[in-house]
A and B are shown apart, each in its own frame.
Chain A
Amino acid sequence: MASGILPETQTMSGLRPGRFGAYGGRYVPETLMAALEELEQAYIEAQEDSAFQAELSSLLKDFAGRPTPLYFAKRLSEELAGPNGGPKIYLKREDLLHTGAHKINNALGQGLLAKRMGKRRIIAETGAGQHGVATATTCALLGLECIVYMGEEDMRRQELNVLRMRLLGAEVRPVTSGSKTLKDAVSEALRDWVTNVRDTYYILGSALGPHPYPTMVRDFQRVIGLEIREQILAKEGRLPNAIIACVGGGSNAIGAFHPFLADKEVHLIGVEAGGRGKRLGDHAARFDGGLPGVLQGTYSYVLQDDDGQVALTHSVSAGLDYASVGPEHAMLHDLGRAEYTSANDIEALEAVVRLARIEGILPALESAHAIAECVRVAPKMGPHDILVVNLSGRGDKDMGILARELHLQGAQGE
């Protein structure tokens, strides 16, 4: 079968290539199949190539700023202590990475792979713009042409990132179909790829899409979890009781979770976007209302209606505003190995304010969903517990939304 890409996955999921239990696979137009097979092969070779790995490690360290700190959030821990004494809360500071989010881990990995494959034209989709910025940055660094598809609605709400991408030399193409958000940007990127497949590399930004993307993106993001393990062992001499991460497509979460899958005592919590309500169309909580189905190349949980039409979604955070979820999360959900909860728009906004004021850290709206879950669970934990929250990105990009939603003008000092 294809690939010793990841032995852990294969033992958990049986033998079909690119499958995570029942989920994953490849559901694409035939035209893309040769390219996906070529990509899988190139990825396997790159993994075994020490020169490739050394170049990636060097860029992650000197260009992107790895390792990122595992920061003990003392004041947050005190505030959330609750009746039981509360855990020590650590924040994995992916927000301190170059370009401001974990997305650069994957963009650098795939960018190097594209270069190795001799593909000079890069396309990408973006929701919040963080993957687009990371890809534009990588392309500037490696001298590659860069085209980023972005929903018109997302361009409006994440305008700062649009400007950053343009400054970095990327072309940002507005997507006007459907809900004009991440899902539509993925479709448009796939349409570009199917048209220009012979000379184009598609840097997909999350652990989504057809095989080998969910596995490959997960592998490029595993560095998050590997560092958490090393750092928490150095600081505390043991593994954490729980790790919390937000889940849009789920790349930061799977990167943080994956090195701990075999450590059953580590509770893994993924937080989806609860949006503005429970009705279909008002949220992006795929595990709370979605059903298994096929969207954009992979079999996973999908928010859909009775006819199999994919539902619209809503979240205050563009990066979580997606109707499906990475297939490995679907497997972890069914196995009960990870727990999936949701935080709504208001809880996320409150979490932004709380973290900003108590720790001096402005989280991305996406990452704020993980903070919101931390606010819920920490008071139930004891003083000997350790809780790690993956702070996947910083919130500068969200200032426009925050100013509007939090009425910041004239509200200082409240």
Chain B
Amino acid sequence: MTLHALLTGLAITLLAGCGKPTSTNSIPESAPRFTEVDDSGIDLVMTSGTLPSTQIIEVNGGGLALLDVDSDGDLDLFVANGATLDAPTAGPGCRLYENRSHDGRIEFHDVTAASGIDLHRWAMGAAAADYDGDGHVDLYVTCHGPNALLRNRGDGTFEDVTTSSGTGDTGWGTSAAFADLDGDLDLDLLVVNYLQFDPSAPPPSARFKQQNVMAGPNGLSAQHDVLYENLGNGTFRNASQGAGMHAVDPAYGLNLVILDLDGDERLDAIIGNDSDENHLYRNEGDGLRFREEGGARGIAVNRDGHAQATMGMAIADVDGDERPDLFTTNFSSDTNTLHLGRSADAWDDRTSTWGLGLSSRTMLGWAAVFGDFDHDGDEDLISVNGHVYPQASMDSMDSEYEQPPSVMIRSGRRFRRATQEETGQWISEPRRDRNLVRGDLDGDGDMDLIIGELNGPVRVLRNETTSNRRGVVLSLRDDRPISRDRLAPGARLDITAGDETSTRWMPAGGSFQSTHAPQVHVSIPPDQRTIDVEVHWPDGIREQFDAREAATRIELLRGTGTDPASD
């Protein structure tokens, strides 16, 4: 080495030291802490083809649904289970687990056989709601092939009413959700479809980052989404054409959320599409009439105008302006995306400034959910990850095949990635996770998680966050004879606890191919004895529930509140 080179190297080294990294992030006071429940009683290893995956149909995994099947007040679990390429209609079957938690112990029992659920096709997604208004929560299962509507008889058993109800769409269904889209007090059904795929004639491979990989979705034919109108007599009508669902080209649909996006007291829908622009179906009223306005409203693409590969979707009022903000998970070498509502009808991508951009570039994200998991009053963000290509590694694709979950902690107007020390061992375990649902499984007032892994176990994660604030779990109920929309998916709740206010939405869609518990959760200050809630019911009616005792669980019964306009 010459003296010159040595000196130059030294100078360069010293200069490099001048560029010390800096950070503006502040450290929050709390973080959610979860512990995996080893003996939950869920012994299922999910099936979605075999490992390593070779075709696109194998990579989505099956969905989860939290619902109270037996009306005993706790959350049971349905698992949409897949099949294999050599026997795509003869898989191991979907499963139903009854929640028998007691004494703070989370415990499930497999009641599939007793329930009469006998669904062995390649199931993908699960939507849960009481479509016939009989007080018992039913299931809709999306599949590759005919979907299935399973009616809850109320005696612990289900009957397959797909044919008689007219809901057996034969596309590749991914996600679905029930909601009262036409304001007639019953639940319509929106089914998201992906693409045409024949397992016996798979397409040739494609190229990604110099690697041969499984083909799709590009090059395969996308399928239209399907909107079923509930006719109120146990049957549905395919209303897609007249409702405007065919006014746009079909896209590779994977997910949806339903809520009143623009404050016009009608439920709208956002469809998350893979490798294509997301669709925003704005409800024009007058029955089932929608106009696709994703591009015009700024929610179809990311900040630079690029379509992404939307998988997971989650809604929250992140910036406290009472407008819904949308978070989506995406492919690796891209970023997840946060669209903030800027006005009643416009959204803008603010991913970077909220700290959700670069941190997600090596991840391929799936299900996502917001929640005040750590009881600090704001909503954090949890998503699960895992690559679709078995060849994926940092060396080959800048992204590992198995990836740990992401827990993003709110700290003011930023999110930051939580550490294992804060949240527990589970956050550091690389997995092939796909699905995630949240609900209060043990009745202690906080949000627990259930995660489904591609060709892996279903894991129960108990929330063990310690906080001096109290969790309150809210649910809605409409038992009026005129109504069949019992649990009000898509409703909005404006919650006031002392001088704290927050806006939440009752889940209708979101996560990924799954259904969260029909619960809204908030934490309140320890000395707060009552809360006020204004409910925006899905049909546009508002109702005020003042000074409700801030118990761990509160059910708000429609018709027992007051008209906010009368205050």
Q: Do A and B come from one complex?
A: no
